[in-house]
Structure 1
Amino acid sequence: MRSRIQSRAVRVALLFIDGVGIGRKDPAINPLAHREHLLSRFQDAPSPALPDGGLCIPVDTTFGVSGRPQSASNQTAILTGEPAPALLGQHVLGYPNAALRALLAERSIVKRLRAAGREATFATAYPAAYLDALGVPRRPTTSPPEFTPSPEARRRMKPSAAKLAFAAGDVPLRTLEDARAKDGLTPDITGAHARAFGLPAPERTPEEAADIFWRVAMGADFTYFEHYLADEAGHAQDFTAAHTALDIFDAFLRAVLATRPADARLMVCSDHGNVEDLSTRGHTLHPVPVLYFGPPSPEVEALSTVADVGRTVMRWLEVE
């Protein structure tokens, strides 16, 4: 194991992975049943023990609202600490609607952390042209935009809950220029997915990405990273893509854990199930695993829904 990185400012790190629930250990439908990943958690079979005294808490994604849990409303729940689907009386797919945007603008945990004097940072880096099309604040760049979206493409581009949560806190987002300078990570971790689309993304191993992650987190109280390729594989019912996404994320997570500063609290969470059941293209009603690594915390064992993840971040950082 590599030596742990020393940190003065790291408090809480949250790794978000879209679309990973707790399903059956059935290799015919569940890619996680083929592996002993840290996220290989099952309803009907024992799961591998977590290293470093880690805990896994299954949490609800439905909030008692009928229908399938969706990304926009549940990611809003995570990033506000509020039961967004219950407040709206519905699950909202894709990107936040007007009601969710208003909730994020008012109750974003990033906004509240910043108001309390805490530093928050988004470790994921995106093309500057994409962030400009979304209309969210970003870091300045010296290189020209990677592409020029057409008016039609620009109309289709909408910000995710995480981008709106950080925009509400006035935190400029990282660009691919930051990723190339080893000050940010592409959503796919290695950069291969971005490069396949012709984007100037750096090439990284999961271990190199973990080193960059903690370097980014050194000056922040709260650090957030998002990864969405597992959800895309679930919608495509693509075992190969699912294995690739989950294998890379697991290698990254293990490297992040191996170099976790002793005082840092690391959580891993998802918003809803999907990739654990490739017999369907849709999201599942399954609970999702919240993994925790860090000092003892009674708050973790009390987690009930995905909204409790955001609330717990606030409690740990002593923000009401």
Structure 2
Amino acid sequence: MSVIFIFIDGVGLGEDDDTNPFYSNKYESFEMLTNGFFNNSAEAIVNKDHLFKPIDANLGVEGLPQSGTGQTALFTGRNAAKEIGKHFGPFPHSGIKPFLKKESVFHGVKELGKKPYFMNAYPPIFFEHAQKRNRWSCTTLMAKSADLKLNSTEDVLNERALTAEIVQNAWREKLGIDIPKITPTDAANRLLNVVPDYELVLYEYYLTDKAGHNQSIEDAERVLKPLDEFLLQIIKEKRSSDTLVITSDHGNLEDLSTKTHTRNKVPLFILGENGSVFNDVNSLTDVKEKIIQVLTYDI
């Protein structure tokens, strides 16, 4: 039994209007997970093996949620925004880095004697810039701090990791790295092939947040189409004993009328036999504890 954790950056539950790409186009995976309606009017689904509910990303703090504090809250269970008195991002504030370094979901899984895995890979230029500036994202900081390997080109070629855009085209076309293009279905199967070796597998998809900032429906379609196919394959082919967790850190892409993030609630999707563990999740800060609970069989 494993937990598959798909973190999708910058996706909230928005209005049914032309500023919302989930209204302008239909994405089967999201509609399947919400019984047909992916918006701020969608009714919660609370079944034994299928949960959907809107959860809070504002964390009791005024202003627009940001990735640094939102992701720290999601991955550590600590209300990072309240700890420093503001929303902060995109990188983690110095006042909340200790949570990622010591209390992350990766640390929690290892403390159970189990194995976590971070599925994302990074090109050489990422490592050069991050090490030079000592500036790491929430996911890479917590992975490094839990002594997890940050995957590189070799791991992509060995089919043990995925690039940020799922289909591997940006590394080849923009960075000149010789890796093959794959389909979103291929990428999903690659992740599913890794899952049996670990108790937690995390994959981060942040292009949704970038597309939201661009306020472009074309960009939104470009990043949502492969994500949709990727998620569909995971939904259809995951093992029944595995728990699929999908959520976000704040709203953004669902409202292209603004360049900024939003204060909308974000979706929480759970598929799996242990889905009921997440029934009382109401905020980003509740998710980590429930993942650990599933993996301790305390259900």
Q: TM-score, normalised by structure 2?
A: 0.90
1:250-283, CA deviations, whole angstroms, 9 ceiling, x for partnerless residues?
1000001111011000011110000000000000
- Whether the 8 Å contact between 1:111 and 1:170 is mirrored in structure 2 is no
Aligned-residue Cα RMSD (Å) equals 2.3
Please point out which of 81, 84, 90 is paired with 1:88.
84
Tell me by how many angstroms 1:198 deviates: 2.1
Tell me by how many angstroms 1:53 deviates: 5.5
Structure 2: distance between partners of 1:162 and 1:22: 23
Counterpart of 2:16, as a letter, is: K
Structure 1: distance between partners of 2:243 and 2:49: 12
- Whether the 8 Å contact between 1:206 and 1:248 is mirrored in structure 2 is yes
SS at match of 1:98: coil
Tell me by how many angstroms 1:178 deviates: 0.6
Tell me by how many angstroms 1:45 deviates: 5.9
Please point out which of 16, 39, 43 is paired with 2:40.
43
Percent identical: 30
Please point out which of 92, 100, 103 is paired with 1:104.
100
Number of aligned residue pairs: 290
1:216-254, CA deviations, whole angstroms, 9 ceiling, x for partnerless residues?
222100100001111101001011110111111110000
Structure 2: distance between partners of 1:171 and 1:311: 20
Counterpart of 1:315, as a letter, is: Q
Name the residue aligned to 1:145. none
Structure 2: distance between partners of 1:183 and 1:45: 36
Name the residue aligned to 1:250. 228
Does 2:160 align with 1:170? no
Structure 2: distance between partners of 1:246 and 1:37: 11
Does 2:249 align with 1:271? yes
- Whether the 8 Å contact between 2:50 and 2:275 is mirrored in structure 1 is no
Q: TM-score, normalised by structure 1?
A: 0.85
Name the residue aligned to 1:223. 201
SS at match of 1:126: coil
Does 2:287 align with 1:293? no
Please point out which of 123, 130, 136 is paired with 1:127.
123
SS at match of 1:224: strand
Name the residue aligned to 1:238. 216
Does 2:6 align with 1:15? yes
Structure 2: distance between partners of 1:285 and 1:291: 19
Structure 2: distance between partners of 1:291 and 1:269: 6
Gaps of 5+ in 1: 1-9, 136-153
Structure 1: distance between partners of 2:260 and 2:173: 26
- Whether the 8 Å contact between 1:116 and 1:319 is mirrored in structure 2 is no
Gaps of 5+ in 2: 32-37
